[in-house]
């Protein structure tokens, strides 16, 4: 089985047009970029009303015959009338005419987008998002872009975790606290 060779690039557009190189593993991508990299999956290109229209536009990217070239795929997204991603809200029960739930709404409008997975150098990721607890304490209004960046960022500790001096099922002897014994 061949591994997928993902592009190494600063953004998804560059990954499609002119990547720095291609790599299957992080260490290969780090060597190609010359710095640490992160794996990213992002949407790129226009939205299409049908899968067939999107497939016609990106046929060479989607129907690649070699296994190592399958780093793009088509995904269906729910959108609002303004073209932004939709948020599905919960439905309240109605309890009318012997029915508990209201009639289902019309199916939402969907579009097809191309997603690309690639290796992105850490320096190209932009400004680092603040930790959620710091942003919450700041009492300032958080922009939607910052909120999305916080949600995508990995959890980071405030300070490094100190190593445990004893295990979970171990205890110190009261008469000799320098001795650790198993606790059963």
Task: Report, as an integer, the average pLDDT of 86-101.
Answer: 81
Confidence of residue 138 (pLDDT cuts 50, 70, 90): low
In tens, the pLDDT along 49-88 reads: 999 999 999 888 888 768 788 899 999 988 877 656 666 6
Confidence of residue 130 (pLDDT cuts 50, 70, 90): low
Residue bearing the bigger pLDDT, 30 or 3: 30
Residue bearing the bigger pLDDT, 46 or 63: 46
Amino acid 128: pLDDT: 61
Q: Are 68 and 47 spatial neighbours (Cβ–Cβ below 8 Å)?
A: no
Q: Reduced to 3 states, what is the DSSP secondary structure of residue 123?
A: helix
Q: Are 79 and 8 spatial neighbours (Cβ–Cβ below 8 Å)?
A: no
* Residue 93 burial (CB count, 10 A): 9
Position 144 pLDDT exceeds 60: yes
In terms of Cβ atoms closer than 10 Å to its own Cβ (0-12, 13-18, 19+), residue 178 is exposed
Least confident window among 11-15, 52-56, 131-135: 131-135
CA dihedral 154, 155, 157, 163 (to 10 degrees): -90
Q: Per the confidence metrics, is the pTM higher than 0.85?
A: no
Residue bearing the bigger pLDDT, 37 or 2: 37
Residue bearing the bigger pLDDT, 103 or 136: 103
Amino acid 55: pLDDT: 92
Strand ranges (E), the chain: 6-8, 21-23, 37-48, 72-79, 109-121, 170-172, 180-182
User: How confident is the prediction for the chain on average, in pLDDT?
Assistant: 83
């Amino acid at each position: 089985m061949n591994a997928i060779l993902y592009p190494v690039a600063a953004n998804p557009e560059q990954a499609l047009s002119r990547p720095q190189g291609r790599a299957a593993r992080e260490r290969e991508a780090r060597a190609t970029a010359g710095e640490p990299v992160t794996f990213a999956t992002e949407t790129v290109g226009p939205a299409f009303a049908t899968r067939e229209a999107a497939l016609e536009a990106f046929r060479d990217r989607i129907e690649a015959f070699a296994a190592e070239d399958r780093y793009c795929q088509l995904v269906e997204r729910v959108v609002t009338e303004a073209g932004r991603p939709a948020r599905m809200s919960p439905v309240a029960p109605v309890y009318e005419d012997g029915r508990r739930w209201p009639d289902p709404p019309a199916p939402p409008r969907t579009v097809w987008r191309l997603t690309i997975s690639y290796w992105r150098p850490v320096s190209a990721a932009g400004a680092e998002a603040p930790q959620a607890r710091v942003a919450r304490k700041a009492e300032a209004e958080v922009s939607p872009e910052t909120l999305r960046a916080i949600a995508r960022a990995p959890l980071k500790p405030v300070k490094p975790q100190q190593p445990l001096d004893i295990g979970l099922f171990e205890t110190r002897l009261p008469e000799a606290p320098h001795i650790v014994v198993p606790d059963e």
